[in-house]
Amino acid sequence: MMNEKLQQAFSKQINAELYSEYLYLIMRDVFKELNLEGFVNWFDVQVQEERAHAMGLINYVYQRGGCVEYSAIDLPKLNGRNPIEVFEQVLSHEQFVTSKINELFDVAVEVKDRASQNFLNWYINEQVEEEESACNVLTTLKLIEGDKYALLMFDKELSARTFTAPVIG
């Protein structure tokens, strides 16, 4: 059986992952409007990853005999809509999610739930990749800033990203 405080912390993280899915869906539209289909694909994959992250947490809570407390998902608001501004927000959002995963892990430590600590290690490692992935796109965007041809070439590159359902835990 899962500790009540830990169960609530898991529920908050599930909400954060669903918010991430919503956020990336909205960011996807920015690139759809610009006709940059490679970026659209990048966000399509990101949306699927966030849903997988949420489902992994949901399945784990039920596996441990707990239940999920769902709550409303806030409407994401973008501060700036050019590609660099959007990816600055992707990176800062992923850094925020990392801090939330760390807090969830800290609760698992506090209540001495070793199985949850073990499970959450997957998410801690995943956040390293999430931040790296956002950072890589942002670095390239800054490098090619003002060069429309290079932006189109980079867009083509991002169209190769594919979603592979993660094996979580």
Which of 36, 90 has the CB closer to ligand FEO? Answer: 90
Please name which of 92, 96, 76, 72 lies closest in space to residue 84, comparing C-alpha atoms: 92
What single-letter DSSP state applies at residue 82?
S
Which of 50, 113 has the CB closer to ligand FEO? Answer: 50
CB of 30 to ligand FEO, least distance (A): 17
Based on C-alpha coordinates, what's the Rg of the chain?
A: 17
CB of 53 to ligand FEO, least distance (A): 4
Which of 123, 154 has the CB closer to ligand FEO? Answer: 123
- Provide the binding-site residues for ligand FEO, judged by CB under 6 A: 17, 20, 50, 53, 94, 97, 130
CB of 166 to ligand FEO, least distance (A): 10
Q: Which residue is nearest to ligand FEO (CB)?
A: 53
Match 């966000």 to its residue by tokens. 43
Which of 38, 56 has the CB closer to ligand FEO? Answer: 56
What single-letter DSSP state applies at residue 145?
T
